[in-house]
A and B are shown apart, each in its own frame.
Chain A
């Protein structure tokens, strides 16, 4: 069964620093997709970045990047030059390829609270 684990409950950093959030996953499938989402204080959930398991290059979008370590089943989110508005809950999620594409089933971790201080 697929499982996503985020061991860090919360992280506090100073503004303009770099932070890494951890995520490990379990899957029996050889192909899968990994996602990071951000949930703001209003509850809105925003897609940030995706890593396809067959790609060796780490995905990068703006000041978000991923540290994909497939042998360790690990997908870390790196935020560089953090800003106050990056304060939010960050969720890691996975979809196995053999899960029907139409089902929209993502398995989410329990989230990591990020607090960015001035």
Chain B
């Protein structure tokens, strides 16, 4: 069975500090991986997607970047956090590339002060 794990579970960071959030999927080779963001109490918005190692596509510009250093790993980062970066970050993968049905990790809660 496939499992997806995100780290850290939660972070409290200062404005202007760097950030790195990670996601690892096990049990699935060459997965499509996705980053979504959710403002507190809000809807989900896609940030990035990656279909293979080293290839990342940006969907929205939020002063964030993403990388796919390994087949099973997806990293979200920024060098300088903004207050607007606060929220819940979710990594997801798609089992069925035709329907686009997504399965999400546990999420990482980010608070920027």
B103 partner residues in chain A, CB cutoff 8 A = 47
Partner of A104 from B88, B92, B107, B109 at Cβ < 8 Å: B92
Contacts A43-B106, A45-B90, A45-B107 hold; do A105 and B100 have CB atoms under 8 A apart? yes
Would B107 and A43 count as touching, CB distance under 8 A? yes
Partner of A102 from B42, B44, B97, B104 at Cβ < 8 Å: B97
B75 partner residues in chain A, CB cutoff 8 A = none
What does DSSP make chain B's interface, helix, strand, loop or mixed? strand
- Closest-by-CB residue of B relative to A44 is B106
The docked-state distance in angstroms from the alpha carbon of A22 to that of B45 is 20
- Closest-by-CB residue of A relative to B52 is A102
Chain B residues with a Cβ closer than 8 Å to the other chain, count? 26
Contacts A33-B99, A50-B101, A110-B43 hold; do A102 and B32 have CB atoms under 8 A apart? yes
- Which residue numbers of A lie inside 8 Å of B, CB to CB? 33, 35, 37, 42-47, 50, 52, 91, 93, 95, 99, 101-106, 108-111
Shortest distance in angstroms between A88's beta carbon and chain B's nearest beta carbon? Answer: 14
The docked-state distance in angstroms from the alpha carbon of A102 to that of B46 is 13
Would A111 and B43 count as touching, CB distance under 8 A? yes
Would B106 and A102 count as touching, CB distance under 8 A? no
A37 partner residues in chain B, CB cutoff 8 A = 104
Number of A-B residue pairs, CB cutoff 8 Å, is: 67
Would B101 and A91 count as touching, CB distance under 8 A? no
Contacts A104-B49, A109-B43 hold; do A50 and B97 have CB atoms under 8 A apart? no
Would A91 and B32 count as touching, CB distance under 8 A? no
Would A44 and B104 count as touching, CB distance under 8 A? yes
Contacts A91-B43, A95-B100, A110-B42 hold; do A105 and B59 have CB atoms under 8 A apart? yes
The docked-state distance in angstroms from the alpha carbon of A50 to that of B90 is 20
* 19 extra interface residue pairs, beta carbon distance < 8 Å, beyond A104-B32, A105-B49, A106-B44: A33-B99, A35-B101, A37-B104, A45-B44, A45-B90, A45-B107, A46-B104, A47-B102, A91-B44, A93-B44, A95-B99, A102-B97, A103-B49, A103-B57, A104-B34, A104-B102, A106-B100, A108-B45, A111-B43
